[in-house]
Each structure stands twice: as C-alpha cells, then as structure tokens.
Amino acid sequence: MSTTYHMIEYIHEGPEALQRTLEANEAAIRSVVARVREDGLQRVVVTGIGSSYTAAVMAAPAFRYHCPWPAYIMSAPELGYYAPRLVDVQTLVVVVSRSGERGAVVNALADSLQRGAFGVAVTGVADSLLAQTAQLTLLTAEGPEITFPKTKSVIACAGLLICLALALAEPEDKEAVERLRTLHSTPGLIKNTIQAVEPALQALMPAIQAHELVAIAGTGSNYGVAIEAAMKIQEAAYVSTRYDSLDGLLNGPVGALSDKWLVVLLITAHDLGLSKELLRVVRSLGAHSLCIHEPALDLEGLADHALTLPAPLDPLLAALVYLPPLQLLAYYWTVARNMNPDAPTSMRAILDAILPPGREEPELR
C-alpha cells in the first residue's frame, strides 16, 4: 500500500496554515476585543466538539492566565447544562467548528444568541451554518483538508484561539504582549520540530506499532494535546487510546498497565519531576514509554524511547509545538497497519450521526 496520503501533506502544511491564520485575523480579533470592552462583557465561554474542542483545551491556559474575566472551556453538549447560569448579555461565547456544520455547535451558538450573548464563530468555512449564524467570524486559513482526521486545521484553530486570549488581556499586561510576539514566531519552530522529529519517529515505528493499547498524558496546554492525540490515533489507526493529565495517570489508572501498553508522555521543564515518578512506575509495571520533551531535560534513562524538541517552549504556547509529533505518530501508525489515514472505514457512519440533515462536510460536498 502506498504510504503517501493527504494527511502527511497537511501535517507539513500546519506551520504555514497557522501563520496565514494569525495574519488574516488581526483586524477581526481587534473587532472582538473592542466589542467586548464596549459592552462591558464579564465572562468568556469557548465551546466546540471533537478536534475543535481539543483546540480550545489547548488554548485554555492562555485564556485563564491572561483573560481578566472568568473563562470557561467546555464541549458544546456540556454547555447546554450550564447555559442558564453562564450565558447572558454579559457573555462572549466563542463557538468553534472547522467545518461549521456540526449540529451541536450550531445549536449552541443559536441558543447563546437567544440568551443575549455576543456570539463569535471560529471556523474554516465562510459559508457554513456556523458562520451564517454568528455575529462575527474568525476564519481559519488552512485551506482545503480532504481528510477525516484533521491536522493542519487543528494547529490553525488552536493558535487563533490563543491569539484571541492574548488579545483580550488588559492593555498593561506586558506578558501577553510578549507572548503574542512569540506566538507569531511559532510557525517557524513548528516547522523545525517536524523536520527534526519525523525521521526519528519513522525509525521508532517497528518498536512501537505492535502495542495494543496507548495512554497519552500531558499537563497545561499539553493536556489538550493528549486529548487530541488520543482521538487521532484511535480515529485513524484504530488502536485503543486513552488520555489523561500526568498526575491523573499516576494516581490510579497507571496500575492497569502491562507490556501491551505504550505510554506517551509530553514532558516540559515544569512537570519534569512528576514525569520521572510516572516513568518509574510505568517501567516497574512492564509497559513501554515514548517521551516527547524539551531539550536539556534529564530523564535519567527512564524512557524507552524519546523524541527531543529543538528548543525550549513558552508553557502557554507549548501545545502548538508538541501536537505535530503526535499527528505524525498517528499517521505513521495508521500506514504501518495498512490502513488509509485519510478516510477511516467508520467515517461515513460518524458523519451521518453528527451532521444536520441535508448538510455535508465542506470537502465532501
């Protein structure tokens, strides 16, 4: 079977997709910020489903650290439980859907508008239901993505949400200003990371692909990466995968590990100590480990396999750099199993279940 699919092309296009998206939305983000301040809004809700939700989770630390108001990140169906208390005329509701066609997110936006919220869509499709419903749209600029497992659009969406979070900071927040500069230089770092990691990951696949179960864990913005990576591996390669935070995996679930498991840890300088403790337990239980980590972190030989990122990272932006190696892992694992990563066999059944009647994915129209 050919090992060349659209998915690998899109992973490599991720840095450019992020750069185009950030540049294209500068004026629209200023409009959002102006409206928020003019109307005296008091809280922010960011919602979506699937990879759009995981992009929001990657951006959650930036919202919580820099936004001067409470920020709530939750899935679109979950928002329905809390909307009567959270969503009103003082709320900015940011609804995320790459296709803009998912029924749950369109309904969440419509309900929020009925409650008087200022509703902003983040989508990749200008004529989608979501964009037509929103009061203002932030349009990602990744271009066509004719694969079911999305990659470059997730990078673009997560980066755009982080940019919005930093823009919502108080004008005197110098950290936010500096992070915004760093964010605009991140596409180059992502490109360097893909170039550095891809050959090493390909070389590791013979030792990785036989595992039947996977656990992926990270903290901070990397918690969102863990969720997204678990979704992609299970969605494309059909390998059972769970996600957790590093501390969440260590406090109980780790006990179920065996030699059937591959444990993938996303390690930063901040969580190095916790990661080492987790690696010791993983090894004692006979499971195998793959660590993706910043440079100059001493893992004391505890990891079975390791991929080193080319540069230290800002902790609130780290997800944008940690995600592509996991996308590559999902791609090469799927190909190693002689499967098509662009169109999993379950794709049609899933789309029929989540799209409104008569609507279709943009690239499948």
HEC letters along 288-322: EEEEEECCCCCCCCCCCEEEECCCCCCCCCCHHHH
Collapse the DSSP code of 136 into the 3-class scheme (helix H, G, I; strand E, B; otherwise coil) and give the result: strand
What average pLDDT does this structure show over 205-213? 95
> Which pLDDT does position 89 carry in this prediction?
98
Residue 124 has a pLDDT of 96
pLDDT digits (tens, 9 = 90+) for 90-137: 999 999 999 998 889 999 999 999 999 999 999 999 999 999 999 999
Q: Residues 252-288, buried b or exposed e (16+ Cβ, 10 A)?
A: eebeebeeebbbbbbbbeebeebbbebbeebbeeebb
Do 29 and 75 lie in one domain? The reply is yes
> What number of residues does the chain have?
365
Q: Token pair for residue 139?
A: 């349009």
Please say whether the beta carbons of 188 and 349 come within 8 A: no
**Confidence at 21, pLDDT banded by 50, 70, 90:** very high
Helix (H) or strand (E) holding 279: helix 272-284
Mapped onto helix, strand or coil, the DSSP state of residue 189 is: helix
- Both 86 and 159 in one domain: the answer is yes
Specify the pLDDT at position 346. Answer: 64
Same domain, 155 and 236: no
**Residue pair 23/137 in contact by the 8 Å Cβ criterion:** no
pLDDT at residue 350 is higher than 70: no
pLDDT band at 40 (very low <50, low <70, confident <90, very high): very high
Q: Are residues 113 and 76 in the same domain?
A: yes
**Do 293 and 318 reside in the same domain of the chain?**
yes
- Does residue 241 sit in helix, strand or coil? strand
Question: What residue numbers bound the domain in which 273 lies?
Answer: 187-339
Domain endpoint, select from 186, 217, 233? 186
Please indicate, yes or no, if residue 139 is contained in any of the structural domains: yes
Q: What is the domain-level CATH number for residue 258?
A: 3.40.50.10490
126 and 24 within one domain: yes
What are the tens digits of pLDDT across the range 297-348? Answer: 999 999 999 999 999 999 999 999 999 999 999 999 999 999 999 987 665 5
Strand, helix or coil at 213? strand
Cα 207 to Cα 267: distance, rounded to the nearest angstrom: 21
Q: Find out whether 99 and 73 touch, Cβ atoms under 8 Å.
A: no
| pLDDT value of position 220 | 96
Spatial contact of 190 and 52, defined as CB atoms under 8 Å apart: no
Global model pTM greater than 0.85: yes
- Helix or strand run (H / E) with residue 265: strand 261-267
Domain-embedded: residue 159: yes
Task: Report if residue 154 sits inside a domain.
Answer: yes
CA distance 285 to 25: 48
Structural domain includes residue 351: no
Q: How many domains are contained in the chain?
A: 2
Q: Do both 232 and 199 map to the same domain?
A: yes
Predicted pLDDT of residue 1: 43
Q: Does 148 lie in the same domain as 55?
A: yes
Domain stops at, among 159, 186, 213 = 186
Q: What confidence tens digit (pLDDT) does each residue in 226-273 have?
A: 999 999 999 999 999 999 999 999 998 999 999 999 999 999 999 999
Q: Answer whether 135's CB lies under 8 Å from 161's CB.
A: no
Residues 123, 240, single domain; the answer is: no
